[in-house]
Copies of this chain bind each other. A is one copy, B any other.
Amino acid sequence: MLDSSTWRHVFKLDPAKALTDEQLDQVCTSGTDAIIVGGTDQITLDGVLDLLSHIRRFEVPVVLEVTNKDAISPGFDYYFIPLVLNATNKKWMMDVQHEAIKTFGPMINFDQVSAEGYCIMNPEAKAYKKAQCRLPDKEDVIAYAKMTEHVFHLPFFYLEYSGTYGDVELLKAIRPHLKETQLIYGGGIYTLADAEKMAAYADTVVVGNSLYTDFKQAIKTVQIKQIT
């Protein structure tokens, strides 16, 4: 069973984007608590397997965030299933996930599977458009967080700003409402200072896009593990 409760920092790698082998080695040995493989566009089984075979040579836990059932592969430690809470179309809240469970049936080991209650906050993000999201206000977001903890009992509530830096005040407002459910923040973390501000309220910060734009700064964000 997954114990992610101590995860403070996670890197997210996109199978559709490229890092050099050396950079990948650096990510894997950076001291990050886990690596999530996930993305929205052009996620292929080949791309997923390329990353997996590289990362598996190291000890860091590796998670597949399942967004395309044709790109699911065995061999990961855990599988995270995003449920898009602020989607307007039920498909992205639970129907594609239901379809995957129907398809893979007894092959699924649910001890390796965790659902993430996703709240996507950037209207320009591909995932936002794909899931036909609506932008929630502060009270909406808090009610989503409560629902995630008390109604759905999900292990994760994931506030996702996809490439843009989010509202730290919103994160602060969510914080007191989550006791059992882990609060994950992702989006626009380019520097250690960016990470530090969000890690003051989030249990876990996810650093993704910036690996592909300013690798050197991005890799340093792992240091929040020492300073918070």
Contacts and interface: CB of A to CB of B under 8 A. Distances in A.
B143 A101 contact: yes
A214 interface: no
Q: Summarize A's interface: helix, strand, loop or mixed.
A: helix
Interface string A111-145: 00101000000000000000000000001101110
A192 to B, nearest CB: 35
Contacts of A57: none
Interface residues of A, number: 31
Copies in the complex: 2
Contacts of A153: 152-154
A151 interface: yes
Contacts of A93: 90, 93-94
A193 to B, nearest CB: 33
Contacts of A90: 87-90, 93
B143 A98 contact: yes
